[in-house]
Structure formats: C-alpha cells, structure tokens
Amino acid sequence: MRLALAFLCLIAAGSAHAEQGDRMKGAALADQGRNGVPACRSCHGDMGIGDGSGAFPRLTGQLGFYLYKQLKDFAAGTRPSPVMSPIASALSDREMQDVAAYYSSVQGPFFPLPILDAKLAQRGGMISAAGIAERNVPACIACHGPAGSGMQPSFPYLAGQYAPYLEYQLDQFRLNRRQNSPLNVMNDIAARMTEEDMRAVSEYLAAVRPPDLSRIGASSTGPASPYTGAPLATYQGTR
Amino acid sequence: MLIGLAVGVASVANARAPDLAQGRAVALGGGAGDQQACAACHGANGAGVMPIYPRLAGQAAFYLYKQLLDFRSGQRESAVMGPIASRLSPRDMEDVAGFYAAATAPYSPPADGDGAQLQRGGTLAAAGSAERGIPPCANCHGQAGRGMPPSFPYLAGQSEAYLAGQLAAFRDGSRRNDPLDVMRRIAGRLNSGDVTALSTYFAHVYPPAREE
C-alpha cells in the first residue's frame, strides 16, 4: 500500500516530462556535448548502446522519465556517481529533458552476448518471474514489466541491459549507496539477495531480448539469433 | 579500411601496396629461410590462439609493420618476436602486416567482468584523470578503444593479459617504441589497480568492425 501510493505520486509528478524534451536538441548534446559537458556518446556509445563491455549502461530506448529522473538524482546526490554527478549538475533541467527524450526515442542494436551459463540463467529467470518467496524477494517483473521490458513511466527496462551493470547497481542498492528508488524499495529487495542471486538475475536479464525489439533482428541486414538481437552489421553502419 | 591501409603504406614512404597473398604465405608458413609461422601463435585469422598473444585481426597495417621493425631494432624488447622479426625482410613485414590488417576474426566476448572494475576502467579510458595527469585513452586510441589508423592501435577486444603486460612493459621501459615517450609517461602514472581495471575494460569492449 505504501508502495502503491509512492508509485502513484511518482506517476503524477513525472509523466509529462519525457514528452516535453526536444529530442533533436538532445541528440546534438548526446553526440557532441557542449562546453563543460562531455558527449554522452563518448561512454554510452552510438545511439546509447554502450560498447559491449557492460561498463556503461544501455540508454537506447529506455523510458524517458526514468532517464530524466536519474539525471536529476545524479545531480541531487541520491544516486551519487563520481562521473555522472558532475555532468548532471552541469546540465539544465531543459537539457536533461532533451537528452532523455532523445535516448528514449532511439532503438539501437545489441552486441552479441558472452556464452550463457544455462543453470545460472535458469535460476535468474525464476527470480525474475517469481521472486524468492522464502526471503521475501518479489518478482522483478512485478514492477519492471513482462520479462523485464520496463513499465511506463518510472520502471526502467532491465531486459537486454548489461549484466555487469545490473549486478553493480544491485550491489549499490544493497550498500545503500544508491538511494533513489521509490521508498528505497530496491534497497530492501537487494538486501535480501545473495551475491549469487544478483549474478543469476543479472545474467538472465541481460540475455532477454524484449519482444518489441526482436523485430529489428529480423531485418534484411543479416541473420540474428535470439541472443544476438540485431545483427552487428547495423552497428558497423553507424561508425 | 582501404584508406587506413593506404595511409599506412604511404607513411612507410613506399608506394608499393602490400601483397596480401605473399603476406598470407608469411603468416601461415613463415618468411624465407628458417622461419616460424605467425599463425602458430596469432592464428590464421589473427584472433590469437592464447590470451597472451595479441589479436592482430583488423589492426592498423602501419602499426603492425612498425612493431615488426621495432622488434627487430630492440625498441620493443621481446625474446620471441625479436628473433622472428630480425629474420623477416621489410617486404615480408609489409605484406604480413597488410594480411593481418585485412583479416577478420570472430570475437567471443569473455565471461562478464566485474561491474565496479569495468566502470573504473571505462571511466579512465573515456575521461582520463585530470588531477593525476592521465589523458583519456580515447584521445589517441579512439572512442571505446576502436583505434585510429595508421599509428594508434585498437585496444577494444584485445586480451586482458596482453594489455596488462604491455602497460607493464611501458612502465619498466622494456617497450620504448611509443612516439614521444607518451605511453611510458602515461603508464608511469597508472597504479596497479588502474592497469587491472583498464585491461579488464578493454578486453570486454567489442572490437571495431571493419568496413568491407
């Protein structure tokens, strides 16, 4: 109930923002930066797909309001980051909206995944779909949408996000270094998870390709497996 | 790619284009005389058969050629590559460099790295550290370590052990073939945690796609 109320407040407060941004201005900022603000692209890659390593999260197609709120929280310090906090602090509210609008409007391809540990992935899939009843860990999909594909406006997609990034964020929640989830619900959840749980669910979610993105892989530019998503040819074209 | 190759060859002050068939012969069978095949360690496609051997596939031709010259002169010390390079003719070097620059090799991403390490390495690579006088790797090696032909090699997808080994070699001076000492000065400012983080990061970045 507490939770539901907080979510309602968030929705009421935030739903308008993503649509307000100018994605063309956002694209310019993302690709070139400006004086005092490095280009987002220099770490987050072309179209926000990252670089395959998992050092930097995928931003492509992420929910606009979520992205906007993260920038606000980086600036405010509820999500402290030695890299992102100074950058976010240099952005105007308008620029945050623009750049969030840009990244939420693009759909970049996926890099091929490392070979998946099937046992680990199965365990992660169970946690994502059903939670861990005995430790009161709810299913990820309860908030993050079917197969972790995200839920407007506040719950980011997890499907296809880089595993090292997801695992690192869970750990940041567990250590209470990241305190920007509604009512700190992610901190509570992460505190009930073991390292192994975190790894399993991260590896699983990273391997999921949301159904609405899989059609990119069906394009004529080349073959795609369920694990590789869009063929890399798409990425080569953007160099 | 073609332009990169052309620039590379031009800067060798030798207008001759590398003979890729001859380069392939050197890679697979060694040069004239008693010569080891490059492919024995680096693979026929330049993927590297073990993590300590660097990936050569799609690397800038001029960079590869220059490394062979530097192995021969001892500017880049290597007990293995020194003798091999000294038995290659400059023409063989050009050809085999051209062959591996044109090669494509699949990249199998290594198992996922540690998130904190990746972030540390990735941040240092993209932004450097102003207070410690460490420039971003991306300044010379390109965004996400994609390389800037003809002189700056790609780092993305290179093996972790190799990268860490080279940073150590720059630091101890056994590799001193970098322009204007720039890598030796940078490596001297990196601590061992930085070296690990950077090597982990670049090893996990998807290597640059070659334009056909």
The full set of domain ranges for chain A reads: 16-105, 118-210
Mean pLDDT of chain A: 85
* Residue B139 sits at the chain A interface (C-beta within 8 Å): no
Q: Which residue has the higher pLDDT, B197 or A16?
A: B197
Q: Closest-CA residue in chain B for A207? A: B112
- Tell me the pLDDT band of B138, cut-offs 50, 70 and 90: very high
Q: Which residue has the higher pLDDT, B163 or B31?
A: B163
What share of chain B has pLDDT > 70, as a percent? 89
Predicted confidence (pLDDT) at residue B12 exceeds the cutoff of 60 = no
> What pLDDT score does A232 carry?
38
What share of chain A has pLDDT > 90, as a percent? 76
Mean pLDDT of chain B: 90
What sign results for the dihedral spanned by CA atoms B55, B57, B60, B63? positive
Chain B interface mutation, best of A46, A47, A51, A203, highest count of B Cβ atoms under 10 Å: A51
Predicted confidence (pLDDT) at residue A223 exceeds the cutoff of 90 = no
Contacts of B1 in chain A (CB under 8 A): none
CB-based contact A61:A18 (threshold 8 Å): no
Min Cα separation B130/chain A (Å): 13
State the average pLDDT over residues A107-124: 93
Min Cα separation B71/chain A (Å): 31
Residue type, A152: Q
Q: Domain residue spans in chain B?
A: 2-102, 115-204
Distance of CA A134 to the CA centre of its chain: 28
Burial of B113 (0-12, 13-18, 19+ CB in 10 A): buried
Predicted confidence (pLDDT) at residue A20 exceeds the cutoff of 90 = no
Contacts of A225 in chain B (CB under 8 A): none
Q: Closest-CA residue in chain A for B212? A: A236
Predicted confidence (pLDDT) at residue A116 exceeds the cutoff of 70 = yes
Contacts of B109 in chain A (CB under 8 A): 52, 111-114
Q: What is A16-105's CATH superfamily? A: Cytochrome c-like domain (1.10.760.10)
Predicted confidence (pLDDT) at residue A225 exceeds the cutoff of 50 = no
Minimum-distance CB partner of B122 among A41, A43, A239: A43
Contacts of A165 in chain B (CB under 8 A): 115
State the average pLDDT over residues B103-114: 91
> Which CATH class, in words, describes the domain spanning B2-102?
mainly alpha
Which of B148, B105, B145 has the alpha carbon at shortest distance from A52?
A: B145
> Which CATH class, in words, describes the domain spanning B115-204?
mainly alpha
Question: Is the Cβ pair B108, A115 closer than 8 Å?
Answer: yes
Minimum-distance CB partner of A236 among B119, B123, B211: B211
Interatomic CA distance for residues B193 and A44, integer angstroms: 23
Interatomic CA distance for residues A3 and A183, integer angstroms: 7
ipTM over 0.85: no
Please enumerate residues of A whose Cβ is less than 8 A from a Cβ of B. Answer: 38, 41-43, 45, 51-56, 82-83, 111-115, 162-169, 171, 203, 206, 232, 235-236, 239
Contacts of B137 in chain A (CB under 8 A): none
Predicted confidence (pLDDT) at residue A2 exceeds the cutoff of 90 = no
User: Under DSSP, is residue B135 helix (H, G, I), strand (E, B) or coil?
Assistant: coil
Half-sphere exposure of A227 (CA within 13 A, CB side): 12
pLDDT tens by residue, B25-81: 999 987 666 567 999 999 999 999 888 899 999 999 999 999 999 999 999 999 999
Same fold, B2-102 and B115-204: yes
Residue type, A168: Y
Q: Which residue has the higher pLDDT, B94 or A13?
A: B94
pLDDT tens by residue, B122-132: 999 999 999 99
Question: Is the Cβ pair B204, A83 closer than 8 Å?
Answer: no
What sign results for the dihedral spanned by CA atoms A128, A113, A82, A99? negative
Question: Is the Cβ pair B119, A56 closer than 8 Å?
Answer: yes
Strand partners, B152: B148
B90: which 2 tokens?
Answer: 């400059």
Same fold, A16-105 and A118-210: yes
Predicted confidence (pLDDT) at residue B148 exceeds the cutoff of 50 = yes
State the average pLDDT over residues A197-212: 90
Does the predicted model carry a pTM greater than 0.95? Answer: no
Predicted confidence (pLDDT) at residue B117 exceeds the cutoff of 70 = yes
Interatomic CA distance for residues A231 and A218, integer angstroms: 9
Question: Is the Cβ pair B118, A55 closer than 8 Å?
Answer: yes
Which of B127, B128, B199 has the alpha carbon at shortest distance from B158?
A: B199
Q: Which residue has the tokens 């550290």?
A: B129
Predicted confidence (pLDDT) at residue A13 exceeds the cutoff of 80 = no
What share of chain A has pLDDT > 70, as a percent? 79
Predicted confidence (pLDDT) at residue B202 exceeds the cutoff of 60 = yes
- Tell me the pLDDT band of B149, cut-offs 50, 70 and 90: very high
Contacts of B116 in chain A (CB under 8 A): 168, 171
Residue A180: partners with Cβ closer than 8 Å, 6 or more residues away:
A69, A70, A73, A78, A79
- Tell me the pLDDT band of A210, cut-offs 50, 70 and 90: low
State the average pLDDT over residues A217-233: 38
- Tell me the pLDDT band of A237, cut-offs 50, 70 and 90: very low
Residue B173: partners with Cβ closer than 8 Å, 6 or more residues away:
B184
Question: Is the Cβ pair A53, B118 closer than 8 Å?
Answer: yes
Q: Closest-CA residue in chain B for A87? A: B127
Burial of B3 (0-12, 13-18, 19+ CB in 10 A): exposed
Q: H helices of chain A, where?
A: 2-14, 17-20, 23-32, 41-44, 64-76, 84-90, 93-105, 118-130, 141-144, 163-174, 185-191, 195-207, 211-217, 232-236
pLDDT tens by residue, A33-85: 999 999 999 999 999 999 999 999 999 999 999 999 999 999 999 999 999 99
Q: Which residue has the higher pLDDT, A19 or B202?
A: B202
Contacts of A58 in chain B (CB under 8 A): none
Predicted confidence (pLDDT) at residue A219 exceeds the cutoff of 50 = no
Min Cα separation A211/chain B (Å): 24
Predicted confidence (pLDDT) at residue B201 exceeds the cutoff of 80 = yes
CB-based contact A211:A125 (threshold 8 Å): no
CA distances in angstroms from A146 to A120, A140, A143, B27, listed in the order given = 20, 9, 9, 51
Output the CATH code of domain A118-210. 1.10.760.10
Question: Is the Cβ pair B144, A112 closer than 8 Å?
Answer: no
What share of chain B has pLDDT > 90, as a percent? 82
Min Cα separation B14/chain A (Å): 29
pLDDT tens by residue, A156-187: 999 999 999 999 999 999 999 999 999 999 99
Chain A interface mutation, best of B140, B146, B206, highest count of A Cβ atoms under 10 Å: B206
Interatomic CA distance for residues A221 and A232, integer angstroms: 9
